Structure 1
């Protein structure tokens, strides 16, 4: 084994999946943050993620894929990430559509995203779902509860305002920072709560 191989094995590995829900910039910024933290990323993009991406951003699917270390087709059910024997530190689905949420809650691995999420749950690894914008139906809420009971974490893209953000980027950085906290990664790119400031 070469020195570089040993170094690569020491890097954290995170699977990032992007579905067709609104909020594609959150997936892009998550990949950028993970790259900045030297985390090895495995990206899965659904067909509708690629379509929504074109409406919401100036990025092309190729631009987004270039941000990841490895990319896998959503249809490739034999990809390494589809197996529990593939060692990784967790999976973030950002953004996560209601359709993908429902498939994961039902254990219905219809594509590589749902299959890999199922693997994370069965292997007791961290699974984070950034479920799309509200409002939610009772079905959505029940599916969120099911995923939570199975060990997943729901983190809807609702920003915090106690930092008094000046820009949308400030809101995004704070949300991504708090989300990556859940996989024990510190972006150091947002303001943490330090209590009320005294007059």
Structure 2
């Protein structure tokens, strides 16, 4: 069995202005051409996060799922909502 290396480039907003946006796009193309996967940091507000820690936890869970690693189903979308969203609405 051969081991396969997986590289995921997590990207966020790299500043403002056309020059920085173009540089970010070029960098994403370069790492993709090198065999990496670009995984953007895009928060999902349907989970109704109340803290930065909740945004972080949800993002980490999505990256784990993307990589095929074990995680929880707390943020798994089931077509209507998620466990995190249900907990938020029940707490109110």
* Structure with greater helix share of residues: 2
- Offset at residue 132 of structure 1 (A): 4.1
SS of match in other structure, 1:162: helix
Unaligned runs of at least 5 residues, structure 1: 1-86, 88-123
Larger RCO, structures 1/2 (Cα 8 Å, 6+ apart): 2
Deviations 1:66-97 (A, max 9, x none): xxxxxxxxxxxxxxxxxxxxx6xxxxxxxxxx
- Offset at residue 128 of structure 1 (A): 0.9
Q: Are residues 1:167 and 2:51 paired?
A: yes
Q: Which residue of the partner structure matches residue 125 of structure 1? A: 5
**Where has structure 1 moved over 4 Å in runs of 4 or more?**
none
Question: TM-score, normalised on structure 1?
Answer: 0.33
Q: Are residues 1:142 and 2:22 paired?
A: no
Deviations 1:124-177 (A, max 9, x none): 621011234334421220120121133211123321111112222211111001
Question: TM-score, normalised on structure 2?
Answer: 0.64
Q: How many residues align structurally?
A: 75
* Structure with greater strand share of residues: 1
Question: Is the contact between residue 131 and residue 154 of structure 1 (CA under 8 Å) also seen in structure 2?
Answer: yes
